[in-house]
Amino acid sequence: MLIGGIEAGGTKIVCAVGDRSGEVKAKKSISTRGPDETLQEVKAFFSDYKLEALGVGSFGPVNLDKSSDTYGTILNTPKTAWKHFDLLGRLQEDLQVPVYIDTDVNAACLAEYRHGAGRDVNSCLYITVGTGIGAGLVQNGCTFQGKSHPEMGHIIVPKHPDDSFAGICPYHGNCLEGMASGPAIEKRHGRKGHLLGDEKRVWEIEAHYLAHAIASYTLILSPERIILGGGVMKQKMLFPLIRQKVSGLMNDYVVMGDMNEFITAPQLDDEQGVKGAIALAVEV
Ligand code: ADP
Ligand code: ZN
């Protein structure tokens, strides 16, 4: 029997089928339009397979409060066609299998924990630095959800002394996402991140914001490992810069161990989203 996985994002929805070991057997990327049009295509993809269960790693905010009448619905998203849409209910009805839903970043974290860069630890944090910034946490095999779910990308971070950029978060201006997401880099420097590889100042500022956030996450959550993914982290020189700054910020107060092991790259080649969605539906 097969397990279905959906990585539901604002620009694309990736559908996959895999087995209990996490191996992906088939995959299709569908562009995200209105819910009806998009989910018809999702249903058509899965109709070729006999599924046992389905996992969904969803863009958010999504209601993960199991006691709520609107569990599994999309909340206050700027994608207005999806606002208050009952994603869990619709997928259950369309596919007639049990559906398990979590945030996209929790799913990605679970995939790295089970099959990738976190498989030798009991707790890990996965941070994506891309169009937005978000983080998921897994401890002892369980993702952390809380009342709604954490929104770690929106914490406030101290300004870099040489940075006059105001930030682009529509809700908070200069929160972490407002200062350090891919679009923030592009707006601050006038060019996309992948064209700025040689500009040291760009990555010094970027590492400053990410290191401050990571220091806070470490003090609050104490994960055994922090995995940094997303498009912006393709700039590999960020890793040593961030490790050095996090060490400096912790200032020997907390024993950090080997920083190369503590802060690492993902290992699932951009498949952590769908592998994580599948993992949500697999009991271990
Ligand atoms: P999403 O977050 O939409 O799922 P990505 O994780 O690929 O997608 O993030 C896209 C963002 O990452 C864009 O703002 C893009 O400019 C930036 N980005 C992608 N590749 C690179 C790169 N090699 N270097 C720096 N920034 C990059
Ligand atoms: Zn914000």
- CA gap 185, 6 in Å, rounded: 29
Residues 168, 180 contacting (CB under 8 angstroms): no
Q: Decide whether any atom of ligand 1 lies within 6 Å of the 235 Cβ.
A: yes
Give the whole-number percent of the chain exceeding pLDDT 90: 92
Instruction: Report pTM.
Output: 0.97
Smallest-distance ligand from the CA of 170: 2
Q: Does 137 have pLDDT greater than 90?
A: yes
How confident is the model over 58-78, as a mean pLDDT? 92
Query: pLDDT band at residue 283, thresholds of 50, 70 and 90?
Result: confident
- The residue whose CA has the least distance to atom 10 of ligand 1 is 130
Mutation to probe ligand 1, out of 232, 236, 268 (largest number of atoms < 8 A from CB) = 232
How confident is the model over 162-181, as a mean pLDDT? 97
Mutation to probe ligand 1, out of 12, 104, 131, 195 (largest number of atoms < 8 A from CB) = 131
Ligand 1 center from residue 229 Cα (angstroms): 10
Predicted pLDDT of residue 147: 84
CA distances (Å), origin 137, targets 26, 89, 188, 203, 220:
27, 25, 30, 25, 12
Smallest-distance ligand from the CA of 134: 1
Predicted pLDDT of residue 60: 84
CA proximity to 153, closest of 130, 133, 124, 172:
133
How confident is the model over 45-65, as a mean pLDDT? 95
For the segment 139-163, what is each residue's pLDDT rounded down to a tens digit?
A: 999 999 988 889 999 999 999 999 9
Predicted pLDDT of residue 26: 97
Sequence length of the chain is 284
- The residue whose CA has the least distance to atom 19 of ligand 1 is 231
CA distances (Å), origin 179, targets 129, 144, 230, 250:
11, 25, 16, 22
How confident is the model over 1-7, as a mean pLDDT? 96
- CA gap 141, 179 in Å, rounded: 32
Q: Counting atoms of ligand 1 from 1, which one is nearest the CA of 182?
A: 14
Residues 174, 167 contacting (CB under 8 angstroms): yes
If residue 143 lies in a helix (H) or strand (E), which one and from where to where?
strand 142-143
Q: Counting atoms of ligand 1 from 1, which one is nearest the CA of 230?
A: 6
For the segment 191-224, what is each residue's pLDDT rounded down to a tens digit?
A: 999 999 999 999 999 999 999 999 999 999 999 9
Q: Does 107 have pLDDT greater than 90?
A: yes
* Domains defined along the chain, listed by start: 2-103+270-283 (3.30.420.40), 117-264 (3.30.420.40)
Ligand 2 center from residue 179 Cα (angstroms): 9
Predicted pLDDT of residue 148: 82
Q: Does 284 have pLDDT greater than 80?
A: no
